[in-house]
Structure 1
């Protein structure tokens, strides 16, 4: 038996609900489209204002770069951010007197005060830009405001603030930042080295002072910072690290051996049980070793580990006062096929 059809009025509430739902969805879609259009129009307006600001200020900044003293109009509120972006971009590619000329223009326009205000109250992008500007200006008055940002969880913001602190006062920054860089594993060593490059001498002094008090797990990073900056640590400090029971500490210390004061400690590590230590000991000996160390490196050519043999062969090639004829004599003395093959490979690489 076929069920009887529903009464005609039973479906009216559902139809009404569907109509209203569709109407509301259409209105929301139109409002979203209108908002997108307005946002794009606002973006276009900002781009046009920025282009006008750049066109107005670039010739004046170029005059300052070439040594002229341009007549500076007032910096309008709508021009501030485009001007700061342009100014920071130009500063990033300049050195010496040209950079100082741009700094003079910025101070005449009150950019230092403007940037300090942005640093205190601006949005994230504005604070990043302000820290960059204040670093180029070496603005000592910004130091108290930059310090809290240096320990911010935002890595980009904190690293920019750290860079600015080093620019403002390298010696004071070294005292404050070096322990911070050692503790913060989330900051890449390449970034750390780039920031501290301008303060390498005071950083070396700070490292020499704090290394003896550091916990063992912090020593490898501290030594890697010294290596990245190519700074020579005091022989006593480095020797203590080379005698550490931790392979990680010894490896980091060997990478930082740049002078022969710790040569005896390096030689003693050629027989270390950890093959990675032997690799770095061979490399260090190639940098600071003497002619008489050729026999020690020749013995390493027979090491069971391929990387040890390879670095030993490279170190033989790099030893001072060891000529190609001496290397040929070493080759002729080898009876181990693996040692001979490795030395031949490294000598072929040199010829290539």
Structure 2
């Protein structure tokens, strides 16, 4: 009877489908159990590594490095490196030197170089951080290769590690690259270069003279973020540029009175963003003769222009105490008077 039932092709198909589904369910259940057991093993191993290595690393941070170090088995390496990095990112100054000494004694530099070459993405990112903290210049070629990858996170971390290893060489080789990598957030690039401002200013100044025009705004914004000086002659030229973005970037860096004539000309620019930055620049480098110019900007059609002009006017170095209140009372334009009073109130509120 069973055989005759299973001889029906439809029933046979249903039977084997059910058997397949049962087998897949058992396989999935086995996989879940295996993954959970594996996760628990990794958690126990991680706790074991922390218990074993944390006291030794803390002693190194306290400038009391242990005379003898245990071996670092392969299965403990990733957990150890994560712990080492966590402590590295928690300390500053000379405290990190002890961690680096332990790292080199255990061969973490060689381990990291191997992961840079052969690791998966997560392991490469970990290795880049380790290499950067160790300031290991022997991994230069691998870091340069990673810095050229289209993966923004990996390539930017590689840039950081290169700067840590040798800032002068890194900026000499990478300056053209970082000015062209639009996928690298400028704020993060500036953070990476913060400790190498003087070196960066030198190579950035050279690069500005050779950059194609469309790349100049990014370079100038980086110069602003790093407070790197830019030649006034270049800024003056850019303030007459046809591209509003380049004019805006130049005005943001206008900090010298020699640029006053160019800045004043920009007050009449057709693009309101340029007029905003020109007003701000006058607030930094203007004199008493600019009071009338900024007062005229209070009648601009754009709110941001009026606001920045009011800030610049009140903030002029030559503006005397009480003069701002008198100016607000004497202005006949209601919107201009309201803007001046708002800015005065903001300054008084601190």
Q: Which TM-score band (shorter chain)? A: over 0.9
Write out aligned runs for 1:180-199 (5 A). 180-199=177-196
Moved more, 76-85 or 66-75: 66-75
Q: Say which SS state the counterpart of residue 232 (structure 1) adopts.
A: coil
How far is 1:291 from its partner? 4.0
1 CA distance for matches of 2:298 and 2:18? 80
Q: Which runs of 4+ in 1 moved over 3 A?
A: 8-11, 258-261
Relative to the length of structure 2, the TM-score reads 0.93
Decide which of 226, 229, 251 is 1:229's aligned counterpart.
226
Moved more, 98-107 or 330-339: 330-339
2 CA distance for matches of 1:166 and 1:40? 41
Report the equivalent of 2:295.
298
How far is 1:28 from its partner? 1.1
Matched, 1:49 2:45: yes
1 CA distance for matches of 2:171 and 2:323? 46
How far is 1:10 from its partner? 10
Report the equivalent of 1:5.
none
Distance 1:231 1:10, change over 3 A: closer
Report the equivalent of 1:103.
100
Q: CA RMSD in A?
A: 1.7
How far is 1:268 from its partner? 2.0
Decide which of 304, 307, 314 is 1:307's aligned counterpart.
304
Report the equivalent of 1:25.
21
Deviation string, structure 1 residues 325-349 (Cα, Å, up to 9, x no partner): 1212322331222211110111122
Q: Say which SS state the counterpart of residue 8 (structure 2) adopts.
A: helix
How far is 1:11 from its partner? 7.5
Report the equivalent of 2:260.
263
Decide which of 214, 238, 241 is 1:241's aligned counterpart.
238
Write out aligned runs for 1:42-81 (5 A). 42-70=38-66, 71-81=68-78
Q: Say which SS state the counterpart of residue 324 (structure 1) adopts.
A: coil
Does the 8 A contact of 1:167 with 1:198 survive in 2? no
Structure 1 gaps of 5+ residues are 1-7
Decide which of 67, 73, 82 is 1:85's aligned counterpart.
82
1 CA distance for matches of 2:127 and 2:189? 20
Deviation string, structure 1 residues 306-325 (Cα, Å, up to 9, x no partner): 21111000112222242331
Q: Say which SS state the counterpart of residue 95 (structure 1) adopts.
A: coil
Matched, 1:123 2:150: no
1 CA distance for matches of 2:251 and 2:210? 19
Distance 1:86 1:222, change over 3 A: same
Relative to the length of structure 1, the TM-score reads 0.93
Structure 2 gaps of 5+ residues are none
How far is 1:148 from its partner? 0.8
